[in-house]
Amino acid sequence: MEKINNEKGFTLLEVIFAVSILTVGILSVAAMQASSLRGNAFAWGTSEASNVAMGQIEAMMEWPYDDARLESGETHDGGSAGKYNVSWTVTDDAVINQTKTINVTVSWTDHGLPRNMTIPVVLGQVV
C-alpha cells in the first residue's frame, strides 16, 4: 500500500515569520499615526496663534496713531486669549519716517514646550 503525502498548509515556522512581519508593519503604521497626530496638533496650535495675532492687529488698526498703547520702546501686554498670551513692541520710524513697526508676539505652551510666533506690521500716520 502506497502512502500519500499530500498534506497542504503552512508549517509553524512559516506562520511565525508571517505574523512577525505583520506585527512590524502594524507597529510602524501605529507609530506613523501617533507622529501625524502630534504634527496636526502643532499645526492647529500655530494656526490658532496666527488667528489671535491677526485679531490683535486688526484691533490695532482702529487705534489712533498717537494712542498710548502704541508708545515706542516698551513691551505692551495684550492679555490672554485662552492659552495664548499676546504682547507687542513698537518702534518708531524703523522703516520710513512717520511709521510705527509693531511686532505682535503670541506665546503659548504646546505639550509642555514654550512656543511663540511674531508677526511684524508697519502702521503709517495718516495726515
Residue 85: count other Cβ atoms within 10 Å of its Cβ: 18
Pairwise CA distance, residues 108 & 60, whole Å: 21
Give the per-residue pLDDT at 74: 82
Whole-number average pLDDT of the chain? 89
Q: Based on the number of CB atoms within 10 Å of its own CB, is 103 exposed (0-12), middle (13-18) or buried (19 or more)? A: middle
Q: What is the pTM of this model?
A: 0.73
The reported pLDDT for the residue numbered 125 is: 82
Indicate the helix (H) or strand (E) that contains 34. helix 12-60
Handedness of CA 99, 54, 41, 106 (dihedral sign): positive
Low-confidence ranges of the chain (pLDDT < 50): none
